[in-house]
C-alpha cells in the first residue's frame, strides 16, 4: 500500500511547481498587456498563454480535490 504521507508530499511538490508556472505566465501576460496596445486585437501568443493558465488552474484544482 502506498504511503499516504509520500503521496501528500509529492502532491504538495507538484502544486508548488504548478503555482510557480502559473505566476510566471500571469506575469508574462501582464507585461505583454502593458507593452502592447491590445485595444483592437489580442495577440495569439497572449491567447495561448491565457489558455495555459486555465489548464494549469484546472490541474491544480484536481490536485487539491484528490
pLDDT tens, N- to C-terminus, the chain (66 residues): 789 899 999 999 999 999 999 999 999 999 988 887 666 777 888 889 999 999 999 999 999 888
Tally of structural domains, the chain: 1
User: What pLDDT is stored for residue 38 in this prediction?
Assistant: 60
Q: What is the pLDDT of residue 41?
A: 73
35-57 in b/e form (b: 16+ CB < 10 A) is eeeeeeeeeeebeebeeebeebe
The residue segments making up the domain with residue 59 are 4-65
Amino acid at each position: 500500500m502506498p504511503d499516504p504521507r509520500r503521496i501528500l508530499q509529492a502532491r504538495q511538490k507538484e502544486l508548488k511547481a504548478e503555482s510557480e508556472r502559473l505566476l510566471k505566465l500571469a506575469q508574462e501576460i501582464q507585461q505583454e498587456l502593458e507593452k502592447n496596445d491590445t485595444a483592437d486585437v489580442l495577440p495569439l501568443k497572449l491567447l495561448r498563454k491565457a489558455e495555459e493558465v486555465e489548464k494549469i488552474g484546472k490541474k491544480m484544482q484536481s490536485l487539491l480535490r484528490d
